[in-house]
């Protein structure tokens, strides 16, 4: 077997194969480096000024989080952490839900039926070019500072681009599929709900995953401007006290929530129901 | 060469397709002019015929098929009827089998085959457990016939090309059995993506289907052997022809060969016989050679199918008396019966 062995690089070059263990180590390296850097800087600043607020220690952040999670608010007697999470997730869920339903139905109609496309495409294209954050003030004036304005911002912000994408996908569905269904005796409505709509469902879920990032931006932005509870509201409230000890863990918590919601949607796509979608080779 | 106009055959009312003086083209967006694809097509197909439609790439075979199924609307024609009426948008009277995409990717093989049934089911049946059970039992029978029993729960992407094609045929077959529809089956290069042995299997299969049901089949293919083997009639559409008209009017394809074939022998061995090979060579010479363009008057004189006709004008054939390069004489009716 001698002479057949090649030297395979583990890091450099096109042909590198880092392998399982070393690969994991590589991924861990920059994260550990940054975390170490932070801890070092935080420690150094604390030595200079024990009252330092910019870079709190791990212990400080832990204490802050522990307080907000376990101790009810003095004034209202409520658990702020739980209420914040609930409020933000509710807004996010409603916004995404409305955006998904509207973009699914209107998008499919626009994609399948040229009449609907001609009717709605210019409007939707126009709306999709409006920056949702730029009209946040208009939304607040029109819908008030209650829940509806926040939900509307999310639904509008992600729903309109989703609608465009769904319409494009439905339009690009192979025409042969529609023709085949019609020759098998399908009505136009049957083509819609038996052939096209079911195929757009996993694509919609994929689209929601892509839109999750923007959806979180809109939640936090809306809560920052006008709210009495919510994860974004808490962060902006603590900004007044420069309370980094709470803000930083909250940011991490929001990131974890976003990651978890993405995983949940991915889990739906992995269901046997959508087997045809995930292992498609076409 | 004499100018011989071919008279229209007597119309019996038993035509599956009746197309006269048809022109069809596309707007070429780069030049802004209409590019003719089909030039003066005359075609009558009787019910029960198995027509093989061949021709060079880009000759408009698929376009002609799309006119039959209703996917496209003919731009100009003196007369156009499919199954006794002007073809409207695609419906269940005209079936179609594509090379790709015919199957719904989100449905299992069983559900794909059930589609034709489902589309016809009443609202009551669709919610009836009993109806579904019966329908599935019926679909399984077709699966067994098609040697797809084990694949019933698979999705189209998990199948090989040959299996997909069998599912696509089964989809149409079940509607023929139950509803007597479609009467016209258009196959658009259906076997194009199959390997040789699967292809022969399915050729035999479609022949059996045609023998059993006597439906009209228009089979578009690239493969001349396949065309001659399957059809009761071979129609060659080709853009390689010439006439005495100005060059601008010589665009598009015409029917340059239209020959009847004897009834089929159910064996692929006939493909090895000399007659078979001569016939494919004749078709190749006539329709597929851009360097040897035949004159309209000449190939129109050679259209041999009883249903073939063409409406030439004297102007198109002014020089028809001038000698044309003689091509191989058309072979005598082939004797492919066993």
3-class DSSP assignment, residue B22: strand
**Can you give the pLDDT at residue B3?**
57
Closest CA to A145 of A91, A80, A98: A91
CA–CA min distance B83, chain A (Å): 14
- pLDDT tens per residue across span A240-273: 888 899 999 999 999 999 999 999 999 999 998 8
pTM, two decimal places: 0.85
What ranges in chain B are assigned the alpha helix state H? Answer: 61-69, 109-120, 123-126, 129-145, 161-179, 196-213, 224-230, 274-287, 296-302
* pLDDT tens digits, A14-73: 999 999 999 999 999 999 999 999 999 999 999 998 888 888 999 999 999 999 899 888
The residue among A170, A185, A272, A277 with the most chain B CBs within 10 A of its CB, best to mutate, is: A185
Q: Would you report the helix, strand and coil content of chain B in percent, each value rounded to 5?
A: 35, 20, 40
- State yes or no: ipTM above 0.85: yes
Mean pLDDT, each 10-residue run in order, chain B (338 residues): 69 87 87 86 91 90 92 90 90 88 89 91 86 89 85 90 87 86 90 84 87 92 89 90 79 87 73 84 86 79 80 65 49 42
Determine, for residues B119 and A174 on separate chains, whether the beta-carbon distance falls below 8 Å. no
Cα–Cα distance, B257 to A211 (Å, whole number): 58
According to the model, what pLDDT value does residue B333 have? 46
Cis peptide before B182 (omega within 30 of 0): yes
Q: Do B95 and A183 touch (CB under 8 A)?
A: yes
User: Nearest chain A Cα to B105, which residue?
Assistant: A276
Q: For residue B96, which residues of chain A lie inside 8 Å, CB to CB?
A: 179-180, 183
A93 Cα to chain B: minimum distance (Å) = 27
* Cα B179 from Cα B168, distance rounded (Å): 17
Contact B105 A276 (CB under 8 A): yes
| CA angle, A40 then A44 then A49, to 5° | 145
Structure tokens that stand for A137 in this block: 């003030």
What is the secondary structure of chain A as a DSSP string? -TT------SSSSTT----HHHHHHHHHHHHHHHHHHHHHHHHHHHHH-TT--SS--HHHHHHHHHHHHHSPPTTT-S-HHHHHHHHHHHHHHHHHHHHHHHHHHHHHHHHH-HHHHHHHHHHHHHHHTS-TTTTHHHHHHHH-SSHHHHHHHHHHHHHHHHHHHHHHHHHTS-HHHHHHHHHTT--HHHIIIIIIHHHHHHHHHHHHHHHHHHHHHHHHHHHHHS-SSSHHHHHHHHHTTT-HHHHHHHHHHHHHHHHHHHHHHHHHHTSGGGHHHHT---
Structure tokens at B45: 């197909």
For residues A97 and A82, what is the distance between their CA atoms, to the nearest angstrom? 22
Q: For B69, which of A179, A187, A194 is closest by C-beta distance? A: A179
Between chains, do B95 and A174 touch, taking CB under 8 Å as contact?
A: no
**B120–chain A Cβ distance below 8 A for any pair:** yes
pLDDT in tens, A119-153: 999 999 999 999 999 999 899 999 988 899 999 99
Question: Reading across the β-sheet that carries B50-54, which strands appear in turn?
Answer: B94-98, B184-188, B216-220, B50-54, B233-238, B254-260
Report strand pairing: B50-54 vs B216-220.
parallel
pLDDT at position A196 = 95
Other C-beta atoms within 10 Å of B264: how many? 21
More confident call, B144 vs A98:
A98
How close B181 gets to chain A, by Cα (Å)? 9
**Quick check: B114 and B153 in contact, CB under 8 A?**
no
Average pLDDT over residues A196-222: 94
Q: Which residue has the higher pLDDT, A7 or B331?
A: A7
At residue B315, the pLDDT reads 65
A contact set with B (CB within 8 A): 174-177, 179-187, 190, 194-195, 198-199, 275-277, 279-282
Q: Which residues contact A12 (CB under 8 A, 6 or more apart)?
A: none
Using alpha carbons only, give the angle B184, B185, B191 rounded to the nearest 5 degrees. 160
Q: What is the pLDDT of residue B178?
A: 85
φ/ψ (deg, to 5) at B242: -145, 160
Identify the pLDDT of residue A279: 59
| Cβ-Cβ contacts under 8 Å for A266 (sequence gap 6 or more) | A209
Whether the CB of B94 is below 8 Å from some CB of chain A: the reply is: yes
Select the residue from B87, B103, B105 to test the A interface by mutation, using most A Cβ atoms within 10 A: B105
Note the pLDDT tens digit of each residue in A191-205: 999 999 999 999 999
Which residue, chain included where needed, has tokens 């029960």? B48
A186/B119 CB distance under 8 A: yes
Amino acid A96: pLDDT: 97
B69 touches chain A (CB under 8 A): yes
Contacts of B220 (CB under 8 A, 6+ apart): B53, B54, B61, B62, B65, B186, B187, B188, B189
Q: A209 vs chain B: nearest CA distance in angstroms?
A: 21
pLDDT score of B250: 80
Give the residue from chain A lying closest to B99, CA to CA: A176
- Residues of chain A in contact with residue B89, where contact means CB-CB under 8 angstroms, are 182
pLDDT score at B145: 80
Q: What is the pLDDT of residue B4?
A: 64
What is the least distance, in Å, from the CA of A183 to any CA of chain B?
4
Q: What is the pLDDT of residue B266?
A: 66
Alpha carbons A94 and A155: distance in angstroms, whole number = 8
C-alpha dist (Å) from residue A75 to A42, A72, B167, B229: 32, 9, 69, 90
Is the pLDDT at A86 greater than 50? The verdict is yes
Cα A96 from Cα A156, distance rounded (Å): 9
């Amino acid at each position: 077997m001698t002479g057949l062995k090649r030297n395979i690089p583990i890091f450099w070059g096109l042909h590198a194969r880092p392998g399982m263990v070393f690969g994991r180590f590589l991924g861990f390296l920059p994260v550990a480096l940054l975390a170490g850097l932070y801890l070092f800087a935080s420690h150094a600043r604390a030595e200079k000024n024990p009252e330092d607020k910019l870079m709190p220690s791990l212990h400080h952040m832990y204490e802050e989080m522990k307080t907000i999670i376990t101790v009810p608010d003095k004034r209202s007697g409520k658990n702020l952490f739980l209420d914040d999470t609930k409020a933000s997730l509710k807004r996010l869920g409603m916004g995404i839900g409305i955006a998904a339903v509207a973009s699914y139905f209107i998008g499919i109609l626009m994609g399948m039926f040229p009449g609907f496309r001609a009717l709605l495409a210019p409007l939707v294209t126009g709306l999709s070019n409006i920056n949702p954050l730029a009209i946040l003030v208009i939304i607040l004036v029109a819908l008030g500072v209650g829940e509806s304005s926040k939900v509307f911002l999310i639904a509008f912000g992600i729903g309109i681009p989703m609608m465009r994408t769904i319409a494009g996908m439905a339009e690009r569905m192979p025409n042969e599929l529609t023709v085949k269904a019609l020759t098998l005796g399908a009505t136009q409505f049957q083509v819609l709900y038996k052939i096209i709509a079911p195929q757009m469902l996993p694509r919609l879920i994929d689209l929601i995953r892509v839109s999750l990032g923007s959806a979180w931006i809109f939640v936090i932005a809306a809560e920052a401007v006008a709210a009495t509870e919510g994860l974004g509201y808490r962060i902006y409230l603590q900004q007044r006290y420069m309370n980094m000890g709470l803000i930083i863990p909250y940011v991490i918590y929001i990131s974890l929530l976003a990651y978890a919601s993405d995983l949940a949607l991915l889990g739906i796509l992995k269901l046997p129901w959508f087997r045809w979608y995930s292992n498609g080779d076409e | 060469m004499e100018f011989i106009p071919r008279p229209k055959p007597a119309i019996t009312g038993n035509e599956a397709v009746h197309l006269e003086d048809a022109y069809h083209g596309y707007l070429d967006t780069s030049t802004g002019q209409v590019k003719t694809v089909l030039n003066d097509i005359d075609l009558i197909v009787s019910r029960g015929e198995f027509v093989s439609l061949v021709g060079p790439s880009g000759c408009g075979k698929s376009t002609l098929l799309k006119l039959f199924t209703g996917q496209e609307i003919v731009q100009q024609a003196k007369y156009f009827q499919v199954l006794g009426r002007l073809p409207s948008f695609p419906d269940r009277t005209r079936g179609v089998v594509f090379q790709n995409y015919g199957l719904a990717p989100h449905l299992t093989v069983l559900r794909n085959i059930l589609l034709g049934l489902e589309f016809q089911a009443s609202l009551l049946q669709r919610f009836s457990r009993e109806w579904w059970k019966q329908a599935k039992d019926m679909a399984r029978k077709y699966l067994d016939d098609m040697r797809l029993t084990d694949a019933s729960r698979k999705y189209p992407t998990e199948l090989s090309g040959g299996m997909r094609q069998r599912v696509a045929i089964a989809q149409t077959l079940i509607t023929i059995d139950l509803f007597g529809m479609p009467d016209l089956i258009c196959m658009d290069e259906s076997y194009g993506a199959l390997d040789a042995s699967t292809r022969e299997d399915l050729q035999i299969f479609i022949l059996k289907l045609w023998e059993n049901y006597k439906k009209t089949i228009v089979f578009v293919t690239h493969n001349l052997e396949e065309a001659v083997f399957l059809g009761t009639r071979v129609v060659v559409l080709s853009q390689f022809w010439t006439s005495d008209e100005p060059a601008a009017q010589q665009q598009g394809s015409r029917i340059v060969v239209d020959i009847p074939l004897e009834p089929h022998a159910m064996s692929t061995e006939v493909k090895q016989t000399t007659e078979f090979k001569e016939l494919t060579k004749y078709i190749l010479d006539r329709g597929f050679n851009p360097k040897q363009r035949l004159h309209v008057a000449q190939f129109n004189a050679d259209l041999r199918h009883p249903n073939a006709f063409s409406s030439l004008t004297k102007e198109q054939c002014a020089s028809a008396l001038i000698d044309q390069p003689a091509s191989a004489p058309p072979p005598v009716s082939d004797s492919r019966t066993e």
